Amino acid sequence: VRSIKDKPIAGILHADLDAFYASVEQRDNARLAGKAMAVGGSVILAASYQARALGVRTAMPLRDALELCPNLAVVPPRMEAYSDASAAVMDIFRDTTPLVEPISIDEAFLDVSGLRRLSGEPAHIAQGLRTRVASEVGLALSVGVARTKFLAKVASGVAKPDGQLVVEPHLELEILHPLPVQRLWGVGPKTAEKLAERGIVSVADVAAVGEAGLVTMLGTGSGRHLYRLAHNLDPRPVVTGRRRSSIGAQRALGSQQRSFDEHCATLLELVDRVCGRLRDGHRVGRTATLRFRFGDFSRDTRSRTLGESTASTSVFLSTAQDLLAPRRDEIRRRQLTLLGFTISNLSPADAVQQSLPFDARSSANLDEALDAIRTKHGSSSIGRARLVGRSNAVSVPLLPDPVLPL
């Protein structure tokens, strides 16, 4: 970990696509361009700037949004179009510097502090990124530049829409301290409320409290974290090559009463979708988590860790069913309104060597033996199998799990 002292110059970029989902839709559909529009269903996922001007916000129920803006055009999400656009933008980032850390589908940190001789000042690089993203992908990008990740993110927020802002090192505290506490990473409604009870509403207020005081109020983890951010101590480097650590899917069920069998069918869909994504990414996982939300909006989770990693739909399905079954009565009583399934504890599929019980002596050759193994174990296997002969051994990939028939 490098300290801030080693980096006297603002060289971290936070690049953030503006109103991402909505902008992709406006780009692809001339009738939506320049209009108050949003992406979503019963809830707004993203709103164009024209809609935001009328008060439409992310996570707002559609009904409320239409009240504010009766002419609001609403289109359903097209996740694939967004991932494609995101990938194209991230490619432009990586073409600029190898030090790219994507943090969500529409945001990334870039470290360009070592590129001064090669590519010029960070502000110049930021301008170049914005021009390329506009011309090659057709989207508006805002960029913040600072010495630290946190300030770079604050700066990109201030620069929006379609702008850029460099935080010069001598102006850091001037920008930081007047901000409301909610702007600090990790401060949500609960923490903001706890702080407000003690009269702490701005970052300057937080900075005025000692570290010990913050730790007493919020616990060791968040207390220290907030203390550091408020004093502009954020030595986190830009990290490349991070991989997702969990993959999940969930389904809101509305207020309609459903049978247990219907819940089982939903669960199968979720498990199969998640396992399919796992296999597509050549990963395997070991921990299954079921997430419940009930009519009174309380939440609950149940998880189980398997003895070995897999991406098999059938293995995870039976695990998930084991977690669901004991709650059958409770689910009816408390009115299940959301069901989620997540796999964590992930590792690369190639790292898994399974030992499968099989006697290949009756097979004439390798292909035949493999076919037989896949027939016998294919529905629950991913990774590689190692076949040991008299004088040599081969390691072969196993087939991914087929989609289970309903």
Partner DNA sequence: TCTGGGGTCCTAGGACCC
User: Which span (39-47, 130-138, 203-211, 310-318) binds DNA, by CB under 7 A?
Assistant: 39-47
From 107, 121, 211, 269, active-site residue: 107
Does 347 interact with DNA (rule: CB under 7 A)?
Answer: no
User: Which tokens in the block code for residue 146?
Assistant: 């600072």
- Residue with Cβ nearer DNA (29 or 246): 246
Separation between Cα atoms, residue 357 and residue 123, nearest integer Å: 61
Question: 4-23: which residues touch DNA (CB under 7 A)?
Answer: none
Does 301 interact with DNA (rule: CB under 7 A)?
Answer: yes
Site size for DNA (CB under 7 A): 56
Cβ–Cβ contacts within 10 Å for residue 377, how many?
Answer: 17
Q: In three state form, how does the secondary structure of the chain look?
A: CCCHHHCCCCCEEEEEECCHHHHHHHHHCCCCCCCCEEEECCEEEEECHHHHCCCCCCCCEHHHHHHHCCCCEEECCCHHHHHHHHHHHHHHHHHHCCCEEEEECCEEEEECCCCHHHHCCHHHHHHHHHHHHHHHHCCCEEEEEECCHHHHHHHHHHHCCCCEEECCHHHHHHHHCCCEHHHCCCCCHHHHHHHHHCCCCEHHHHHHCCHHHHHHHHCHHHHHHHHHHHCCCCCCCCCCCCCCCEEEEEEECCCCCCCHHHHHHHHHHHHHHHHHHHHHCCEEEEEEEEEEEECCCCEEEEEEEEEEEECCHHHHHHHHHHHHHHHHHHHHHHCEEEEEEEEECCEEHHHCEECCCCCHHHCCCHHHHHHHHHHHHHHHCCCEEEEECCCCEEEEECCCCCCCCC
Provide the minimum distance between the beta carbon of 375 and DNA in the complex, in angstroms, as a whole number: 30
Residue carrying the six token digits 């189980």: 304
Does 30 interact with DNA (rule: CB under 7 A)?
Answer: no
Does 159 interact with DNA (rule: CB under 7 A)?
Answer: no
Provide the minimum distance between the beta carbon of 341 and DNA in the complex, in angstroms, as a whole number: 9
Does 25 interact with DNA (rule: CB under 7 A)?
Answer: no
Is 107 a catalytic site residue? Answer: yes
- Residue with Cβ nearer DNA (3 or 42): 42
Question: 106-125: which residues touch DNA (CB under 7 A)?
Answer: 106-107
Separation between Cα atoms, residue 248 and residue 45, nearest integer Å: 18
User: Which span (101-109, 133-141, 309-317, 393-401) binds DNA, by CB under 7 A?
Assistant: 101-109
Looking at 342, 354, 380, 381, which residue binds DNA (CB under 7 A)? 342
Provide the minimum distance between the beta carbon of 155 and DNA in the complex, in angstroms, as a whole number: 13
Looking at 8, 98, 221, 402, which residue binds DNA (CB under 7 A)? 221
Provide the minimum distance between the beta carbon of 108 and DNA in the complex, in angstroms, as a whole number: 11
User: Which span (105-113, 141-149, 363-371, 391-399) binds DNA, by CB under 7 A?
Assistant: 105-113
Provide the minimum distance between the beta carbon of 343 and DNA in the complex, in angstroms, as a whole number: 9
- Residue with Cβ nearer DNA (188 or 357): 188
Does 258 interact with DNA (rule: CB under 7 A)?
Answer: no
Does 303 interact with DNA (rule: CB under 7 A)?
Answer: yes
- Residue with Cβ nearer DNA (18 or 111): 18
Looking at 31, 63, 170, 390, which residue binds DNA (CB under 7 A)? 63
Does 321 interact with DNA (rule: CB under 7 A)?
Answer: no
Does 180 interact with DNA (rule: CB under 7 A)?
Answer: no
In this structure, what are the phi and psi dihedrals at residue 76, rounded to the nearest 5 degrees?
Answer: -70, 155
Looking at 119, 202, 266, 287, which residue binds DNA (CB under 7 A)? 287
Separation between Cα atoms, residue 34 and residue 23, nearest integer Å: 10
Residue numbers at the binding site for DNA (CB under 7 A): 41-43, 45, 58-59, 61, 63-64, 103-107, 153, 182, 184-192, 219-222, 244-252, 254-255, 277, 286-287, 297, 299-305, 337-338, 342, 344-345
Residues annotated as catalytic are: 107
